[in-house]
Amino acid sequence: MNKSELLAAVADQAGLSKADAGRAVDALIDTITGAMKDGNSVALVGFGTFNVKRRDARTGRNPRTGETINIAAANVPSFKAGKALKDAVN
C-alpha cells in the first residue's frame, strides 16, 4: 500500500474527503517525526512504539576495495510493534 492508497482507505473508513484525510495523515506523520527529532518516543497502545536508538561509531570495510572505513555514530528511528498489531498479523 502506498501513501495515496492509504489516504483513500483512511478517507473511506473515517468518512472524510481525501484532502482532509491527507491533512490528517500528514499531521500524524509530522507529529511523530517532531517528537522523535526531540528524542522522545511515541507509544500508540495496541499498535506500537516509535523511538530513537543511538548507534555507536564503528569501523567497517568497503566491500569494493576492502579498505577500512570509520562509520560515524548516528541516531536511527525504530519501531516496535504492539501486541494487538502482532496478533492481527499472525
The pLDDT value recorded for residue 68 is: 96
Q: Cβ atoms within 10 A of the Cβ of 7, count?
A: 20
Q: What is the pLDDT of residue 74?
A: 96
Q: What is the pLDDT of residues 52-80, one digit of tens each?
A: 999 999 999 999 999 999 999 999 999 99
Q: Contact, 79 vs 50, CB < 8 A?
A: yes
Bridge partner list, 51? 78
DSSP 87: H
CA distance 30 to 90: 30
Predicted pLDDT of residue 47: 95
Q: pTM, whole model, 2 decimals?
A: 0.81
* pLDDT on residue 24: 95
Topology annotation, domain 3-89: HU Protein; Chain A (4.10.520)
Neighbours of 21 (CB within 10 A): 20
- What is the per-residue pLDDT across 21-60, written as a single tens digit (0 to 9) for each? 999 999 999 999 999 999 999 999 999 999 999 999 999 9
Domain coordinates in residue numbering, the chain: 3-89
Percent with pLDDT over 70 in the chain = 100
CA separation (Å) from 30 to 14, 33, 68? 20, 5, 38
